[in-house]
Amino acid sequence: IYLLVLRCCYLGLRYHGFQIQPDVPTIQREIYHALKEIGYDHSLRYLSRTDAKVSAMDQLLLLKTDFKDIALRINDYLPRDIRIYAY
């Protein structure tokens, strides 16, 4: 089992902040959707969050997984304005 720290950047203009909220697009919702598409359904931890329309250059996420390459595959399922750039 791997404990990965993912480094994420995003343009927040289309989103209502990082944390999931009902019926509005958020960064966390997009990341969860991408992880589900890969076949990962465990919880993701985040070390900070942003408000609506705020961008981030180095959002840290913590992920416990059996698959080290999940960090490489996730960008294939994320919108272009959200990227995992290191782990």
Query: Which residues have a Cβ under 8 Å from the Cβ of 16 and sit 6 or more positions away?
Result: 24, 25, 26, 52
Q: Say what percent of the chain tops pLDDT 90.
A: 69
Catalytic residue, candidates 51, 66, 69, 76: 51
CB 4 within 8 A of CB 70: yes
pTM: 0.91
Q: What is the CA radius of gyration of the chain?
A: 12
51 noted as active-site residue: yes
Q: How confident is the model at residue 40 (pLDDT cuts 50, 70, 90)?
A: confident
